[in-house]
Amino acid sequence: MKTPFLGTAYVSRSRDLSLEQCINLYPEIVETKQGAQVGAFYGTPGLDLLATVGNGPIRGMLTFNGNLYVVSGTGVYIVTSNFNVSLLGNIATGSGQVSMIANATQVALFDGIGGYSIVNGALNSITLPFSNPGLAVYQDGFGVVSQNGTSNIWQSSINDLTSWPALNYGVENGKLSNIVGIGELHRQIYVFKERGTFVWVNAGLSPFAFQRLDGVSLEIGCIAQGSICNVGDNLLWLSQNDQGQGVVYLANGYQPERVSTHGMEYATAQYPTLTDAIAYAYQQEGHYFYQITFPSGNETWVLDLTATRQLGYPAWHKRLAFSNGNFSRHQTATCQFFAGKVVVGDYNAGKLYAYNLNTYTDAGQRRKWLRSWRALPQTTSNAFRISWLEIQAETGGISTVDNPQMMLRQTFDSSSYTSEFFQPVGLIGATAQRIKFNRLGIERRGLSQDRVFELSSSDPYKVALLAAEIG
């Protein structure tokens, strides 16, 4: 019989209720409904090293006029489409998020302390009439920047990101709290405060061109500036308001939609803080991903918006590095589409990587994928013998090891696990290889809870998991 293998990451407050792990795997649904299965798990993309840019960390990136502009540590660099790297100059800070925007001829970047411009390849400081610049967006020829610790929004001169007149600002006085950051969606500026969100539009005013859109406000604010991110035609962020915090919301218009789950919210509630969360988005083979990292919690979560729409519920998985037998946050913190590649930057070093679905390591470092799920859709009061578990998967494919393996463990009480079972995935060309785990035993009701399988592997090979059957 089929076992409910396909799913998402959802570990609830009571592990007896739900213990679904999904690490370094994402589901893809067959859109025509005519595949061998409804869907399958694929391995998340590996990392191809493209270039080393300074000493790191990679703090910000922007594609502009056929080049990639990168802030690594204190250095500002230009990277060509061949991934040749040149230093343009240095800024005053060496850590923290850098927000970058551009018009037709200029790049501007803001590091939380000051502002800088790149014009004709020259890096220069911008004289700002305000301190502590936050996030920046570009709209209708204007640069717009939030001011951290205040309710102010600042605007550049038209078509000139190097000029920021002292009178070009507005004040968002809705909700008595500071601005956390700003975002742009459908040519409107979303101003995220600590307790609410407001929408501003270009009204052609002078000296500050923008004004708040009357009658439009979201009773949900933002807790982490770095979590604000455009994903396709949507804007996502990690929220807080007068009632609480820690929910991820999506805006496609003026009605916020909750897209986190209780499982994710329970996990993030255990982290020391949420204010340091950082996010980026990218699209690969039609999947729109929102990737949010919690540095204090040492974990990275990813929402697949495409699968979310297809499944009808939020499709989250964890994307984690693996070293010395332990999982940790993903290596990357910034992202740009450049030179036909999804380019991501290392949060700890000056490395640029490409996300590659045909790469099965993280720049040579082994990764581990893991899926746990309940053997039966619902618990039963009767003892249920399971003699075997068979995994339907693509076998005999590309691998960089001679005899790749899958490993299975079981738990009957959502806590202690049995010993490990290993089965080969198949040598290259062994496309008829069966992956079958035998002698799995009986669960005894009254002494234990229902059975949960945990399937994993750290061997580098193509991962395509279609289904699982028990008998």
CATH number assigned to the domain comprising residue 244: 2.130.10.10
The residue among 218, 228, 117 whose CA lies nearest residue 163 is 117
Residues 353-380 have a mean pLDDT of 92
Classify residue 89: in a domain, yes or no.
Answer: yes
Number of domains observed in the structure of the chain: 2
Which of helix, strand or coil describes residue 415?
coil
Q: Is the pLDDT of residue 428 over 90?
A: no
Classify residue 444: in a domain, yes or no.
Answer: yes
The residue among 191, 162, 188, 187 whose CA lies nearest residue 175 is 191
The alpha carbon dihedral of 108, 111, 114, 116 has a sign of negative
Residues 169 and 243 in one domain: yes
The alpha carbon dihedral of 222, 308, 341, 103 has a sign of negative
Q: Rounded to an integer, what distance in angstroms lies between the CA atom of residue 23 and that of residue 9?
A: 8
Residues 377 and 293 in one domain: no
Q: Is the pLDDT of residue 446 over 50?
A: no
Residues 331 and 442 in one domain: no
pLDDT, one tens digit per residue, over 17-66 is 999 999 999 999 999 888 888 999 999 999 999 999 999 999 999 999 99
Are the C-beta atoms of 192 and 221 separated by less than 8 Å? yes
Domain boundary among 341, 364, 387: 364
Length of the chain: 471
For residue 79, give the H/E element and its range: strand 75-79
Residues 327 and 374 in one domain: no
Q: Is the pLDDT of residue 381 over 90?
A: no
pLDDT of residue 35: 87
Residues 247 and 349 in one domain: yes
Classify residue 236: in a domain, yes or no.
Answer: yes
Contacts of 6 (CB under 8 A, 6+ apart): 27, 37, 38, 39, 40, 41, 467
Q: Domain limits at 419?
A: 10-44+369-470
pLDDT, one tens digit per residue, over 52-88 is 999 999 999 999 999 999 999 999 999 999 999 999 9
Residues 219 and 158 in one domain: yes
pLDDT, one tens digit per residue, over 206-252 is 999 999 999 999 999 999 999 999 999 999 999 999 999 999 999 98
pLDDT of residue 19: 93
pLDDT of residue 385: 79
The residue behind tokens 């720049």 is 363
Are the C-beta atoms of 159 and 177 separated by less than 8 Å? no
Classify residue 3: in a domain, yes or no.
Answer: no
Domain boundary among 319, 344, 364: 364
Spell out where 375-420 has E strands.
384-385, 388-393, 405-411
Mean pLDDT score across all residues of the chain? 94
Domain boundary among 364, 393, 420: 364
Read off the pTM: 0.96
The residue among 461, 463, 460, 464 whose CA lies nearest residue 366 is 460
Measure the CA dihedral 99/359/410/4, to 10°. 80
Residues 21 and 65 in one domain: no
Are the C-beta atoms of 18 and 10 separated by less than 8 Å? yes
pLDDT of residue 447: 45
Residues 382 and 346 in one domain: no
Residues 62 and 169 in one domain: yes
Classify residue 2: in a domain, yes or no.
Answer: no
Q: Is the pLDDT of residue 456 over 90?
A: yes
pLDDT, one tens digit per residue, over 315-327 is 999 999 999 999 9
In angstroms and rounded to an integer, the radius of gyration of the C-alpha atoms of the chain is 24
Residues 345 and 456 in one domain: no
Residues 355 and 405 in one domain: no
Classify residue 144: in a domain, yes or no.
Answer: yes
pLDDT of residue 16: 85
The residue among 36, 21, 104 whose CA lies nearest residue 393 is 36
Q: Rounded to an integer, what distance in angstroms lies between the CA atom of residue 108 and that of residue 69?
A: 10
Per the model's pLDDT, the better-predicted residue between 343 and 442 turns out to be 343
